[in-house]
Amino acid sequence: MPPMTEQLPEPSTSPLESVQPSLKGEYARQGEFHRNLNPNWSYYPVYINKVEVIDELLRRYGCQSGKILDAGCGEGVLVEKYAQQGWDIVGVDKNYASAYVQEGSVTALPFADNTFDTLLCLDMLEHLYYNEQSLAINEIRRVVKPGGTLIFSCPNLAHFTSRLKLMFRGRLLRTASVGHHPGDRPMLEYQELFERAGFRVVERQGIFPTVPPIYRFVMRHPAKSPNLLRFLRKLPFPVNWNFQVLFVCQLQKEV
C-alpha cells in the first residue's frame, strides 16, 4: 500500500489580487513603469531614493496610525505596499485604477471634507497646468484634517545645473519636456502655493544636488547611482541645489 500523501489546498487568489488594473494615458502607452523599474531610466536613482525618504518621513511623523491618501499616485506602488502592511491608505489617479487605486481627478477629489490625517502628493503638481495646480491644492486642503500632515515632492526647475544653464545659455534646464511637465516650477514656488493654502512647512529634504560632475555621472550611469545619491543625502548641500525636493507640511488649525 503506498504511503499517504498530504492533500495540498488549491492556491487561492484574494479578491484584491483578482482585480485587473485599468490603464489610461501614460500608463496605457508605457505600462506600469514605476512598478517595473528600468535601471537605465535617468530618473531611476532619484526615484529609489525618493521612496526611501518617503518611508522615513511617514514613520517619523507617525502617519501609519491614521488615514492616508496618495493623490495622483500612478500605479499605486506605495499604496499597495503600505496597505499590505495593514495601513489605512487609499490612492486616486485619473489614469489608473486597481484594487488599491480609485480613478479620480486631483482637482475634484472624490472624498468628503476633513477625511485624511495624512496626504501624499508626490511628483504630481508639475504634470498639471498652472491654473490647475491651485485647484488641486485647494482640494488637498479640503480633504486633509486640520492639524494633518502633507508630504509632497516636486522636481525643482531651479536646481544647480539648471541655474548654470540659465547663466551661460539663457534658459533653464527643464525637469522634463513641456508636454510632460507643463507646470514646472522652482521649488520655492511650490512651497509658496501650499503656504498660501494654509500649510506650514516643518521639514525639507533634497535628493540629487546637480553639481556638474555629479550630474554628468548620474545621467550617464543611473543604474550605478542610487548609493551615490544616498551618500549625498547626508551632506549639507543647500536644498535648492537639488533636482528633487520633499516637503513635510502641517495644515494649520483655524483659530
Strand partners, 114: none
Give, in degrees to the nearest 5, the angle at Cα 128 between 229 and 75: 60
Domain boundary assignment for the chain: 21-251
User: What pTM was estimated for this model as a whole?
Assistant: 0.89
pLDDT at 3 over 80: no
Q: Which has the closest alpha carbon to 230: 101, 51, 13? A: 51
Helix (H, G, I), strand (E, B) or coil at 169: helix
pLDDT digits (tens, 9 = 90+) for 53-82: 999 999 999 999 999 999 999 999 999 999
Quote the CA–CA distance of 80 and 83 in Å, as a whole number: 5
pLDDT digits (tens, 9 = 90+) for 149-207: 999 999 999 999 999 999 999 999 999 999 999 999 999 999 999 999 999 999 999 99
pLDDT of residue 255: 55
Q: What is the assigned CATH class of domain 21-251?
A: alpha beta
